[in-house]
């Protein structure tokens, strides 16, 4: 079987790989599952009658879309019994998932958008991503979904309204985002809940995803005061326990964030959503099954330095 990284440069699949990976990740919320879908799509492409494939990219986009729709059925069943809040698998190489279009939302891999997509039906999610993000014509979307073009237009319209309703009207710049993140980390080091609360919107929410494997809050934490007290409490516990905590700055899903090591071991990723120059949401991913790629990337960086 051909490995994920063994696709030859001369293979027409290679030219579409980034676009396909970006589509699959946005559909599934999992980099690992997206890679598996691409492997399946590659094998189907290689076994197809090449002479009858008139448009390779359209064939591959349709194949990946259908594979993702199949996987979403089982994925959503698993998420109904998921322990605690479910968050997407964090990615630190967002550029590799870019659809290479000029559409503003095409570069948005934020947890906020991914969680909004999660609320859509699978066909709505596919129609919106294919048309609004990946610029596919409705004729191709109709073929991928097995629906009429009119139905696909309606699906994309409903999804677009939902996404626009959740997106901030003025997203923070990368610099402002990073500065706010640093201020939160500095306040966290003091364990001062009032300093933390001052950096949060009144309706701030914190999500902690341990997947039932690592200790995490079983429900979203709502409100600035409760969020601040939660993180201040964690800071006090860490100080009382001793040991080491290291914050490594990293781009997580296209925005500044932290990869946090506790006693030399990767413990979680920490990222935020910003609204009106304050933190509106905090996303903590502790589930080790979602951190394998992050750990591998950091290990590779350390090896290259050595």
Mean pLDDT (whole number) for 42-57:
82
CA-wise closest residue to 209 among 261, 267, 252: 267
3-class DSSP state of 276: coil
Mean pLDDT (whole number) for 207-218:
96
pLDDT of residue 10: 60
Q: Which residues neighbour 221 within 8 Å (Cβ) at sequence distance 6 or greater?
A: 205, 206, 207, 208, 227, 230
Strand partners, 104: none
7 pLDDT higher than 60: no
Q: What is the pTM of this model?
A: 0.89
Q: Using an 8 Å Cβ cutoff, are 140 and 64 in contact?
A: no
Percent of the chain with pLDDT over 70: 90
Pairing of strands 278-285, 200-209: parallel
Q: In whole angstroms, what is the distance from residue 60 CA to residue 70 CA?
A: 15
pLDDT of residue 98: 67
Higher pLDDT, residue 7 or 56:
56
Domains of the chain: 12-166 (1.20.140), 174-305 (3.10.450.50)
Higher pLDDT, residue 96 or 177:
177
CA-wise closest residue to 27 among 16, 14, 38: 38
252: left (phi over 0), alpha (psi -120 to 50) or beta: beta
6 pLDDT higher than 70: no
Pairing of strands 245-252, 221-222: unpaired
Q: For residue 62, what are the CA distances in angstroms to 25, 126, 153, 183, 187?
A: 15, 10, 17, 45, 48
pLDDT of residue 107: 65
169 pLDDT higher than 70: no
Mean pLDDT (whole number) for 71-98:
87
Q: Which residues neighbour 135 within 8 Å (Cβ) at sequence distance 6 or greater?
A: 99, 101, 103
Higher pLDDT, residue 299 or 175:
175
Confidence bin at 101 (pLDDT 50/70/90): low
Q: Using an 8 Å Cβ cutoff, are 35 and 21 in contact?
A: yes
Confidence bin at 15 (pLDDT 50/70/90): confident
Beta-carbon-side half-sphere exposure of residue 43 (alpha carbons within 13 Å): 10
Higher pLDDT, residue 192 or 2:
192
pLDDT of residue 12: 77
Strand partners, 270: 258, 284
Q: In whole angstroms, what is the distance from residue 253 CA to residue 111 CA?
A: 7
CA-wise closest residue to 265 among 218, 214, 306: 214
DSSP state for residue 253 in the 8-state scheme: T
Q: Using an 8 Å Cβ cutoff, are 67 and 20 in contact?
A: no
Q: What is the mean pLDDT of the chain?
A: 88
pLDDT of residue 256: 94
Pairing of strands 265-275, 245-252: unpaired
């Amino acid at each position: 079987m051909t490995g994920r990284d063994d696709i030859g440069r001369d293979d027409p699949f290679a030219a579409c790989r980034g676009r396909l990976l970006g589509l699959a990740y946005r559909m599934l919320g999992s980099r690992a599952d997206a890679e598996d879908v691409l492997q399946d799509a590659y094998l189907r492409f290689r076994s197809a009658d090449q002479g009858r494939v008139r448009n390779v990219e359209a064939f591959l986009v349709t194949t990946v879309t259908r594979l993702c729709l199949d996987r979403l059925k089982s994925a959503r069943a698993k998420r109904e019994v998921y322990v605690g809040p479910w968050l997407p698998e964090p990615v630190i190489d967002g550029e590799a998932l870019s659809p290479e279009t000029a559409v503003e939302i095409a570069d948005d891999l934020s947890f906020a958008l991914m969680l909004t997509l999660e609320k859509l039906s699978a066909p709505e999610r596919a129609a919106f991503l294919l048309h609004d993000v990946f610029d596919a014509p409705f004729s191709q979307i109709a073929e991928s979904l097995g629906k009429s073009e009119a139905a696909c237009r309606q699906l994309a319209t409903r999804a677009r309204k939902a996404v626009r309703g959740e997106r901030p009207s003025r997203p923070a710049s990368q610099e402002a985002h990073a500065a706010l993140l640093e201020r939160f980390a500095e306040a966290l080091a003091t364990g001062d809940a009032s300093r933390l609360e001052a950096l949060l919107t009144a309706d701030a929410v914190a999500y902690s995803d341990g997947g039932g494997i690592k200790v995490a809050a079983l429900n979203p934490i709502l409100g600035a005061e409760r969020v601040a007290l939660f993180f201040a409490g964690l800071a006090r516990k860490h100080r009382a326990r001793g040991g080491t905590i290291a914050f490594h700055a990293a781009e997580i899903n296209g925005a500044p964030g932290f990869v946090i090591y506790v006693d030399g071991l990767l413990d979680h990723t920490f990222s935020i959503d910003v609204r009106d120059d304050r933190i509106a949401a905090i996303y903590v991913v502790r589930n080790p099954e979602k951190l394998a790629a992050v750990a591998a990337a950091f290990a590779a960086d350390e090896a290259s330095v050595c």
